[in-house]
Structure 1
């Protein structure tokens, strides 16, 4: 008799557990997240070890804009099932929505290794990589919880070696960027460059402004107070749209004012993120005052590894304007470069670039650039 009572109690408990989960799932489908959370919390007070209910509660908390409360639940779930792809995906999303895109990538890339064809994993990986450049308003839930702003400083130096009797070029830059998921970003740079035996100094400022869940506006200005070979100023306005399946499209217009001429440029860009790869193409149509309309093509391919580290190749072909002392010239160009960024830790990274550029019959230049980047 006692055995029958125990079996009946266990059966009744299982039915009640199933009923609670079914109720919570129905409430989620009806967008009744507060009610679903209350149902799950009441259920877990009776059955704290129900993994399925804890997983659903973590998801509900994240959807409510409380991803920081979901994180310890995911961490506990992953201690018992370290290779559960759904747990890794949910943990990565919660980290991203909490403002930790680089930590999110660690979980998401682990999930991608286990389930390389899991489309949702690849989508969130792309969003996490974009989070440090373009705010993730398209992916984050509505929330009053402040997300963490990320700041980065980079100090870099570059040397270009030219032939045909031209002096080598040198440049130094101090770049600063600030980004935050769900919010605007901004950036700036101080630069100092040497060409033709003269030094020019200048400043660049820009912002990344999310307009809605798909559109982003990026204005930029640059100014050189007393230039010898650099332009006096430039303005650039870029409009970008995010599409499904990892596609991005952008159009930008740029005006560059030199002491003796003006250059206007229209750039049309397309990008695709897939797996650990990013491919991009840009068509540049330039109008040089009294000097024709050069058309150029840029191709890029990047491979991401260990979170935000990457290595990539850039190809340039077509026509392009260049400065020869204080004179603007237009000629055929061919260029190939390799570049990358390697994060040694969550705070420090090295950036690098090497390249070969042929500016028609005027000169060929080869360059090396190295930089040290710090995130805080």
Structure 2
């Protein structure tokens, strides 16, 4: 009787040992950047044992790392059918959706994962990347093991703004056409055409910038702007921002900016910190500005955003301190107090409405209130 049991158990033990050996072999191939060989090893293992979740999970990640995130999604669906509350599977599915250029769908999986494992740092980081991909032109970064060519995402937004001023000043108007292109582990770029009316005059200009992922944590962002014949806007500006992703959902950044007007020059140092957690984002920026022949104003910007329904969000902005402003071609510095509400509401995966309302008090000169509306399209 014991011999019969041993005889029956031996094939099962051998199959289990072979499965472990093949998954271990595939993992070594991944570590050696041999992703094609690892995929072949795992496919052979799954042909023998279709129910091997460990092999299926590693193959799903390998497919995403190979730049085929869409091919990994059916594998994650199989895994989640077996274990719908597995945070690792939900994280992998969310990352694959993010690299496939579908950040809104990614957040659905990631929000489920954070409910199951609220302290899972990788989940929090992936959520931060997904949210940042649509709230700022920051690219997300794929794992170091990957050699992916993830899908590029393009976005176009047309917006208009009206400002109402008191103290006898004419109202302002502006229109913008913004474009941004991002890719999870690659180069991102953005640009804008703009026109503004103040003091009865119109100015037109262009802006352009790039986002360069230096590694998994460091990002460099240069930006320039130019107005060919300005009346009140600067002739040009140049900005360079260096950002570092930190643990526990934190970001740190430093940027330097030079703005050249017809009659003066403005240089600014900005130090920023951000924190993403659950459905929230908080940010603070210290602005230290050197205005040629006009002092060194210091200002503070505070931000708080709440995310809902994926990447839709509503946010609060507060500015206090000193700030420079253009008044009839003259640059002035005064105390400011500004408060605004803004947001972006996604109607579906491709179309979104953007909005902003606010009030800005420029010392004793004037109080300005504004409304901005925009339509955004992702493709």
Query: Which residue is 2:280 aligned to?
Result: 277
Query: Which residue is 2:108 aligned to?
Result: 106
Alignment of 1:242-321 (within 5 A): 242-321=245-324
Alignment root-mean-square deviation, CA: 2.4
Query: Which residue is 1:365 aligned to?
Result: 368
Q: Is the 8 A contact 1:315 1:336 kept in 2?
A: yes
How far apart are the structure 2 equivalents of 1:200 and 1:62? 46
Question: Structure 2 length as normaliser, TM-score?
Answer: 0.90
Q: CA deviation digits over 1:51-102, x for unaligned, max 9?
A: 3432233234445555443222112223344343332112112223344333
Alignment of 1:155-234 (within 5 A): 155-234=158-237
How far apart are the structure 2 equivalents of 1:9 and 1:207? 65
How far apart are the structure 1 equivalents of 2:358 and 2:133? 28
Give secondary structure in 2 for the equivalent of 1:165.
coil
Q: CA deviation digits over 1:21-42, x for unaligned, max 9?
A: 4324544664366666555433
**Pairs aligned (count):** 373
How far apart are the structure 1 equivalents of 2:6 and 2:97? 42
Give secondary structure in 1 for the equivalent of 2:115.
helix
Q: CA deviation digits over 1:247-271, x for unaligned, max 9?
A: 2111111111111111111111111
Query: Which residue is 2:353 aligned to?
Result: 350
Q: Which runs of 5+ in 1 are unaligned?
A: none
Q: Is the 8 A contact 2:67 2:150 kept in 1?
A: no
Give secondary structure in 1 for the equivalent of 2:17.
helix
Query: Which residue is 1:137 aligned to?
Result: 141
Report the CA distance shift for 1:371/1:146 in structure 2 as closer, same or farther (over 3 A).
same
1:336 to 339, 353, 361: 339
Q: CA deviation digits over 1:308-356, x for unaligned, max 9?
A: 2111111111000011111111000111111111111110001111111
Deviates more, 1:42-51 or 1:277-286: 42-51
Query: Which residue is 2:125 aligned to?
Result: 123
Is it true that 1:79 corresponds to 2:81 in the alignment?
yes
How far apart are the structure 1 equivalents of 2:237 and 2:53? 57
Report the CA distance shift for 1:51/1:97 in structure 2 as closer, same or farther (over 3 A).
same
Is it true that 1:94 corresponds to 2:96 in the alignment?
yes
Query: Which residue is 1:15 aligned to?
Result: 13
Measure how far apart 1:107 and its partner are.
Answer: 1.4
